[in-house]
């Protein structure tokens, strides 16, 4: 039994020594890749200080300057003024279109009910509903507008 254990120990030590001694050649072979595969050897990479590496350094300069884990990291200055100049779209009023009144010779009117307070109101063209203005009243919908945006409130059919 002792003989078997010592033989296994010698075999293990021998394989470790063989691997250790043969490691630099295998490592060098792994680094050297043929140009046909589109990669350069480690010696070529070490000697190359040409425009390709300088161009890559320029491309990643911004990332190095604005690393994710720095406490003094700031956003991009060019994007901040654009966002501050834009006004945010107001919330669309939560109303239900109850009915539309269309009569000849009279302006169109719409009966709405506010969802929260359950109060009903009669509105006509040009009236304001929150920050939105009533642009159009049709037989089946109410069209609200704010600046260049529109929102349609559909009449429910039961």
Q: Is 5's pLDDT higher than 50? A: yes
Interacting residues of 120 by C-beta distance below 8 A, sequence separation 6+: 98, 111, 112, 113, 114
Smallest CA-to-CA distance from 120 within 111, 131, 129 is with 111
Smallest CA-to-CA distance from 102 within 92, 110, 94 is with 110
In contact, 126 and 133? CB cutoff 8 Å: yes
CATH 2.30.30 fits 95-154, yes or no: yes
Least confident of 17-26, 34-43, 56-65, 70-79: 34-43
Q: Is 56's pLDDT higher than 80? A: no
Domain extents in the chain? 95-154
pTM for this model (two decimals): 0.44
In contact, 110 and 100? CB cutoff 8 Å: yes
The confidence band for 158, taking pLDDT boundaries of 50, 70 and 90, is low
Helix, strand, coil tally for the chain in percent (to 5): 40, 25, 40
Q: Is 45's pLDDT higher than 70? A: no
For 93-117, the pLDDT digits (tens) are 899 999 999 888 888 999 999 988 9
Give the C-alpha separation, 133 to 67, whole Å: 46
């Amino acid at each position: 039994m002792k003989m078997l254990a010592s033989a296994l120990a010698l075999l293990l030590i021998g394989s470790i020594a063989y691997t250790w001694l043969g490691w630099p050649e295998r490592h060098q072979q792994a680094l050297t890749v043929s140009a046909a595969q589109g990669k350069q050897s480690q010696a070529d990479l070490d000697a190359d200080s040409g425009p390709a590496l300088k161009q890559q350094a320029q491309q990643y300069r911004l990332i190095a300057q604005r690393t994710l884990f720095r406490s003094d990291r700031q956003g991009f200055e060019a994007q901040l003024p654009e966002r501050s100049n834009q006004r945010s779209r107001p919330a669309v009023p939560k109303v239900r279109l109850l009915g539309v009144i269309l009569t000849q010779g009279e302006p169109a009117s719409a009966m709405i009910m506010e969802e929260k307070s359950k109060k009903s109101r009669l509105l006509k063209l040009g009236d304001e509903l929150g920050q939105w203005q009533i642009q159009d009243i049709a037989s089946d919908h109410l069209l609200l507008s704010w600046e260049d945006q529109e929102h349609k409130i559909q009449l429910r059919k039961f």
